[in-house]
Structure 1
């Protein structure tokens, strides 16, 4: 049996430039329906040392960090210390993995906004470690949604309208890397928290609001039981291996989504590699009928409006699923991690 849990990834607390402590952030996450959150304060583990990883308001709070030089930001987890942001990218990434941690290239194709100059994209893609990618980032998308004051006002008043699919160049790089090795992907919020403007809430920055945008849903073979060290291992191992899928909750909540490879009584799920054999089938089950795309090796293999798909005898390749919801202007809804079928 597979259990699915929804969480929020890439959050900043007041230990760097956020506006709340762990308890306040967990309370917002609980109201938004998340089961876990991953904190990534800039260049510090102060929150881990002062508050620790724990269940708060029924939400498991896990702590990593974000190494933040001027560009080439790196989200890292399961670490004891944060590498210096003065190092070169391959150096601080290597230091994370040398201490048993893992990580993701943060907003790797971030588009610079002329109103707020500053590059936060990734330039050094020649890395030896098995890093993952943050292919969806709410704050990065919002920053790319306007170029002038009029556009800024529109994006401020209607932030949900700024949500779009992950950048095509990011997806293509992800698919190409997947031909070489498994590459886990996450959806990040990059939340910094809300402040009050007189009696008017700053909706754009509210933790609670942002936690209802992009989510990372993990797949687990065992249920979470409220035991911190046990549940921590279940969540982080799923994140690390890509046993997850990404959801735009503004397009609709998802309690259950399936994308798996079947052979007789055996199943392989997102993030897993398997050698091709006869009589396999790729299967997709959606919560409701929607526009589904199956991507193989970075190219569209097929698309149709349905809530179930069975693809018999798939060739070797790197497969993933995109789902869009709506009729007139379909909104991006679900993006799966890859299933890798090898020769």
Structure 2
């Protein structure tokens, strides 16, 4: 098949004169087109002039995209979508006639620059296609794997934030699965940016046995100009471009929840990737990344945000993510910070535990919290009525001497040393409990004689962080008394 150019645009752009986040070109494709190729040339200036390219079909479904990882300098981004073949990050299948959107995403646009955009098409090969059935790509873009028999709930350790060659990762999916198994993980979310193209390949790998021992979640990282969010448990592409008129983050969150999926805000204080969206409420959010391995002190701010949200009554589960792009590099190695859930070994079980908050974040230690009053008991994510003293049971296992901290309503309430001598159980009783969240943290202890005066705990000393148990007022009068 010979291709022909149907669009060429050369343009110099400056942030002072452009307010859009996407530059869209509408291209009318006739019947009979077999392949579409998009090329975008520009000079990358890291964090100042970075562009992505994408193509959306007449129904608004993302058929192809490409990002610009790597060094600054002259760049050529390109991808091809065809009936039988598509580049990584893209969906193969028939190309329907109609108005396609060719999109330039102005990812980082704080200084001006120039680009050249080219689009090529080629007609379908009628002779080669004769008598051959081609399955049209749908908005799901997924081959469903066989159901896994249910298993008893147990504690499962996994990774909720990783990337492959389908977006800006450096590893293919088989290598990423190998790295996850080598790290001893029980579940993995490949959360490639923008696209759902990796789901079908993951399903094929499952069918071939390449994911043995791993539960794979269907996930996408929604990558907007005002923050990133991981979307988990999806059955269809939810529309990840939320910076244009007509579709915002609240719309995307409603779509995810209609699929029984989960919405999680990532690295909320990460510079230009920090969470700055104002087109939703926190009721739209199920998960918050309180420990991202590469974020350093930004994680301390994330925990502070989490406590404020919990104190406002939001039931948001704290989770972790390595944000792995290069599993072969030490700083991206899977398993260094994980989310641990109590669930049956299935997608539905893991998603249910995350939704319920029956989870903790681990940097090598175990930490499980439960609560009991005269009126009932619960585990993490659960609620007990306020009826007399609250007894908190902490099960922990630490590889080194540590300090247990318990926070009540976001304030430090209790602390005590813990020896590194295997699994332990600690019971703490609050004789005058307050309605609201109680949660636990485990931090490496210090030999500094001033440690017990200041208890400097941070991301650098963190070994594990539990999700909260909740104490609920037993009556409106009781609630009013405690809030006065």
Please report the TM-score for the alignment, with normalisation by the length of structure 1. 0.77
182, 189, 199: which one aligns with 1:38: 189
Is the contact between residue 259 and residue 270 of structure 1 (CA under 8 Å) also seen in structure 2?
A: yes
2:340: which partner in 1? Answer: 217
**Aligned CA distance change for structure 1 residues 165 and 215 (closer, same or farther; 3 Å):** farther
**Aligned CA distance change for structure 1 residues 188 and 6 (closer, same or farther; 3 Å):** same
2:273: which partner in 1? Answer: 120
Quick one: distance in 1 between partners of 2:351 and 2:323?
Answer: 18
Aligned-partner SS, 2:166 = coil
282, 285, 288: which one aligns with 2:392: 282
Question: 1:249-328 alignment to 2 at 5 Å?
Answer: 253-254=364-365, 256-263=366-373, 267-288=377-398, 290-306=402-418, 308-313=426-431, 314-328=433-447
Is the contact between residue 294 and residue 331 of structure 2 (CA under 8 Å) also seen in structure 1?
A: no
**Aligned CA distance change for structure 1 residues 316 and 61 (closer, same or farther; 3 Å):** same
Is the contact between residue 361 and residue 465 of structure 2 (CA under 8 Å) also seen in structure 1?
A: yes
RCO comparison, higher one (Cα < 8 Å, 6+): 1
Question: 1:1-343 alignment to 2 at 5 Å?
Answer: 3-52=154-203, 54=206, 56-79=211-234, 80-86=236-242, 87-110=247-270, 112=271, 119-124=272-277, 126-127=280-281, 128-141=283-296, 166-168=299-301, 170-179=302-311, 180-194=313-327, 202-205=329-332, 210-220=333-343, 222=344, 224=345, 231-248=346-363, 253-254=364-365, 256-263=366-373, 267-288=377-398, 290-306=402-418, 308-313=426-431, 314-328=433-447, 331-343=461-473
**Aligned CA distance change for structure 1 residues 340 and 165 (closer, same or farther; 3 Å):** farther
Quick one: distance in 2 between partners of 1:13 and 1:214?
Answer: 19
Between Structure 1 and Structure 2, whose CA radius of gyration is higher?
Answer: 2
Aligned-partner SS, 2:320 = strand
Unaligned stretches of 5+ residues in structure 1? 113-118, 142-163, 196-201, 225-230
**Aligned CA distance change for structure 1 residues 341 and 165 (closer, same or farther; 3 Å):** farther
Structure number with higher helix proportion: 1
Quick one: distance in 1 between partners of 2:292 and 2:248?
Answer: 23
Quick one: distance in 2 between partners of 1:175 and 1:203?
Answer: 31
Is the contact between residue 64 and residue 77 of structure 1 (CA under 8 Å) also seen in structure 2?
A: yes
1:265 positional shift: 9.8
Quick one: distance in 2 between partners of 1:130 and 1:17?
Answer: 25
Aligned-partner SS, 2:241 = coil
1:134 positional shift: 0.9
Quick one: distance in 2 between partners of 1:11 and 1:321?
Answer: 27
Aligned residues: 290
Runs of 4+ in 1 over 4 A off after TM superposition: none
1:116: which partner in 2? Answer: none
Deviations 1:193-220 (A, max 9, x none): 246xxxxxx4334xxxx21311000013
Quick one: distance in 2 between partners of 1:310 and 1:47?
Answer: 46
Quick one: distance in 1 between partners of 2:298 and 2:360?
Answer: 14
Please report the TM-score for the alignment, with normalisation by the length of structure 2. 0.56
Quick one: distance in 1 between partners of 2:285 and 2:471?
Answer: 18
Unaligned stretches of 5+ residues in structure 2? 1-151, 419-423, 449-456, 474-484
Is the contact between residue 159 and residue 338 of structure 2 (CA under 8 Å) also seen in structure 1?
A: yes
Deviations 1:32-75 (A, max 9, x none): 11111111010111111233283614222222101102232111
Quick one: distance in 2 between partners of 1:166 and 1:120?
Answer: 14
Aligned-partner SS, 1:68 = strand
1:130 positional shift: 4.1
1:95 positional shift: 2.6
